[in-house]
């Protein structure tokens, strides 16, 4: 049950983070703003990305290591979000939006087939 709304705009550099880094940053920002809740209650984070495995890798970048140390003080359980059919379609559409379109090859008379 949601209890609080947290919002923040990414600055120029943060906008170029990978999706997994953006997810980790969102969790760190939320943990900072909701620190009293995170310290007193176990927190379950549902997502469709393997954030726990990424944060646990020894070859992660410096900022991910820093965020891992910061998040380690909280009782966070990472859960994979189950996908329903409608959500899978929405995820597909959002992933494909903005990709460049390829034109079909022209035939000899200049028409598309």
How far is Cα 68 from Cα 14, in angstroms, rounded to an integer?
A: 17
Give the domain ranges of the chain: 14-85
Are 54 and 64 in contact by the 8 Å Cβ rule? The answer is yes
User: Minimum mean pLDDT among 1-10, 21-30, 32-41, 67-76: which range?
Assistant: 1-10
pLDDT digits (tens, 9 = 90+) for 12-63: 888 888 888 888 888 899 999 989 888 898 888 887 777 777 777 766 678 8
Long-range Cβ contacts of 65-69 (<8 Å, 24+ apart) = 67/24, 67/25, 67/27, 67/28
Q: Rounded to 5 degrees, what angle do the CA atoms 57, 68, 41 make?
A: 125
Q: What pLDDT was estimated at residue 32?
A: 92
Question: What is the percent of the chain where pLDDT is above 90?
Answer: 5
Look at residue 1 in the predicted model and tell me its pLDDT.
Answer: 60
């Amino acid at each position: 049950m949601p209890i609080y709304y947290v919002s923040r705009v990414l600055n120029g550099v943060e906008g170029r983070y990978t999706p997994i880094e953006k997810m980790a940053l969102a969790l760190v920002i939320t943990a900072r703003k909701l620190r009293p809740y995170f310290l007193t209650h176990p927190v379950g984070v549902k997502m469709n990305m393997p954030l726990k495995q990424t944060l646990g890798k020894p070859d992660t970048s410096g900022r991910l290591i820093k965020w891992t140390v910061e998040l380690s003080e909280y009782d966070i359980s990472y859960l994979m979000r189950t996908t329903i059919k409608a959500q899978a379609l929405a995820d597909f559409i959002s992933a494909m939006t903005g990709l460049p379109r390829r034109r079909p090859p022209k035939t000899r008379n200049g028409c598309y087939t």
